[in-house]
Amino acid sequence: MNLTDLHIRPIAEKDNKAVAVIVRATLKEFNADHPGTAYYEEETDFLYTVFQTPGSVYYVAEKEDVVMGGAGIFPTSGLPASVCELVKMYILPEARGIGLGRKLMAVCFEAARAKGYKQVYLETKAELQTAVIIYEKYGFRYLPAPLGNTGHFGCELWMIRDI
């Protein structure tokens, strides 16, 4: 598989189950399926509805109508108005290593700029080391404490990037 095999588009209601499975399977794969993460969030099962919130958008990457991963931005409660959160960026194993994470981030950054955001914030876990390396490579820097009210008390790494 390569990046040209994939189509990136906004989430549709029909994608809810596939995305929820990807989120939970990825967290389980990396032993990051702990309380205080997306694994236990009820909203993980209905992301299409969640991403109808003004200032948010979620994208899925699909190959031949099969969702392979996704990522979005969200105006998380408690964040400054100029900051959105990069959320729920998860990719199936067979779609990793081809630049999809980089592409999803680029699409999210473009959407964030278009919505007037100046920075993108994220929270993650040390167990997701592959993702952490990608975030570092693409300009995210560490913060000493969380921002906003994400409810992700299970995450111990907080990062931000100017866009």
Q: Which residues contact 33 (CB under 8 A, 6 or more apart)?
A: 24, 27, 39
Amino acid found at 105: M
pLDDT for position 151: 65
pLDDT band at 83 (very low <50, low <70, confident <90, very high): very high
Contacts of 90 (CB under 8 A, 6+ apart): 19, 22, 23, 26, 27, 69, 70, 71
The pTM (predicted TM-score) of the whole model is 0.91
Name the residue with higher pLDDT: 143 or 37: 143
Specify the pLDDT at position 131: 84
Residue whose tokens read 């598989």: 1
What is residue 26's DSSP assignment? H
Residue 26 to residues 29, 68, 114, Cα–Cα distance (Å) = 5, 12, 29
Q: How far apart are CA 20 and CA 41, in angstroms?
A: 10
Beta carbons of 7 and 100 less than 8 angstroms apart: no
On whether the 3-162 domain is CATH 3.40.630.30, my answer is yes
Query: Which pair of tokens denotes residue 78?
Result: 């408690």
More confident residue, 38 or 13: 13
In angstroms, the CA 5 to CA 146 distance is 36
pLDDT at 152: 59
Structure tokens at 12: 């549709």
Least confident residue range of 44-53, 80-89, 129-138: 129-138
Average pLDDT over residues 64-75: 96
| Contact (Cβ atoms closer than 8 angstroms) between residue 19 and residue 68 | no
Domain boundaries defined on the chain: 3-162
Q: Binning pLDDT at 50, 70 and 90, where does residue 76 land?
A: very high
- Report pLDDT digits (tens) over 129-160: 888 888 999 999 999 999 877 665 667 899 99
Average pLDDT, the chain: 91
Residue 154, pLDDT score: 65
